[in-house]
Amino acid sequence: MTVDIEERPVSVEAAEAVDAEPAVVQSDSGKPWARWVGVALAAVAMLLAIAAGYLKWQDDSVRLAQTAATESVRAASEGTIAMLSYRPDTVDTELKAAADRLTGGFRGEYTKLVDTVVAPGAKQKHISAVATVPDAASVSATENHAVALVFVNQTTTIGNDAPTGSTSTVRVTLDKVHDRWLISQFDPV
């Protein structure tokens, strides 16, 4: 059997129109995993970005805590020395300056003790005291609150008597107020 094909003349425009039609690309339905690979890669990229953000946040938190620990231990040491060191002729100014390192209810208690007991006694009996902090350590520290353990050596002289020494350990609680670490509690251990 033979088939006769009838040839018809085709215009140039019609031929170009047929050539200009976009070819329809059919998806390769034989490989459904290819689509899932793309989704999985996007999910992995998102998880990595989230993990990187979390690790950066953790690193910043650790650095802030370390900075807070260092600064608060220094403030606790310096504040302890200021609170426990005085001379009879300058007791008022020295201990008033020490009160500027305190905050909250503890500041009021300290000021009352200085005004009613320490300053009058230092002037009357010519008492002088020198405190040193041979060591101090951070117990805990956050960005705005810290606790330090301070080891104190204090030498006290009454009048012309020989100096006497004492040692103590104090748990110092500090709060950060306007970018300054201030002592809010001072508890002998």
Whether 19 shows a pLDDT value over 70: the answer reads no
CATH of residue 144: 3.10.450.230
Maximal CA-CA distance, the chain? 140
H or E element in which residue 15 lies: helix 12-20
103 lies in some domain = yes
142 lies in some domain = yes
178 lies in some domain = yes
38 lies in some domain = no
Q: How many CB atoms lie within 10 A of CB 41?
A: 10
Helix (H, G, I), strand (E, B) or coil at 160: coil
18 lies in some domain = no
59 lies in some domain = no
For the stretch 20-56, pLDDT in tens is 555 555 555 557 788 888 889 999 999 999 999 998 8
Structure tokens at 162: 């020989």
Structural domain harbouring 111: 68-188
Residue 34 to residues 31, 43, 121, 169: CA-CA distances in angstroms? 6, 15, 87, 68
Please state the rounded mean pLDDT for residues 164-181. 97
**Burial track 134-159 (b if 16+ CB lie within 10 A, e otherwise):** eebebeebeeeebbbbbbbebeebbe
123 lies in some domain = yes
For the chain, what is the domain count?
Answer: 1
Whether 100 shows a pLDDT value over 80: the answer reads yes
pTM listed for this prediction: 0.72
169 lies in some domain = yes
